[in-house]
Chains A and B, each alone.
Chain A
Amino acid sequence: EVQLVESGGGLVQPGGSLRLSCAASGFTFSDHYMDWVRQAPGKGLEWVGRTRNKADSYTTEYAASVKGRFSISRDDSKNSLYLQMNSLKTEDTAVYYCARPNSSFDYWGQGTLVTVSS
């Protein structure tokens, strides 16, 4: 059974940093691209970014709203995905989901809440 479990969310002040993790199981993690998607409270879904697999050189893509502030990485030996978030803004407050793209997103984690507030 495919499982994605996010962790690392919490309360952080504007300008601060936070690192989210996503632990994957039930599939060959190293074969897959992996993404982060977020959802602000009461709002719709927003794609954050993607890391490709080793075969595609672990290259990344980002939404314009986070480019230069957020960084996606992975550790295939630990079946883990990461989202390093720097220079956080109040508008980054959201539930952050890791998701597996198989063209569309066929598996999602349960999400972890990040609150950016003073």
Chain B
Amino acid sequence: DAGVTQSPTHLIKTRGQQVTLRCSPKSGHDTVSWYQQALGQGPQFIFQYYEEEERQRGNFPDRFSGHQFPNYSSELNVNALLLGDSALYLCASSLSAGPGGQYFGPGTRLTVL
């Protein structure tokens, strides 16, 4: 079992550009959540996808959007990048009908210059 995988591991973009991050959930999991972790802080919830729809969302602007595919993998898209979007982006997967607990991927480090 490969666990949760994310790509790419690192990414450098400039202000105003757009970026797409990818996540494959742990085998058997059907729910994917995305988090932003700024340096020295705890992860902040961005949104969660289940059955290919956004089920809930944190306090992030519409520049942040996502998608879930039929195989449960997911993408996070960020438009019009700002310097403040520089962070570690974490993907977590879980089983909707399970007892709780999310399994995290290693993250994608995004640097906006």
Same complex origin of A and B: no
- Chain A contacts to B: CB under 8 angstroms: none
- Chain B contacts to A: CB under 8 angstroms: none
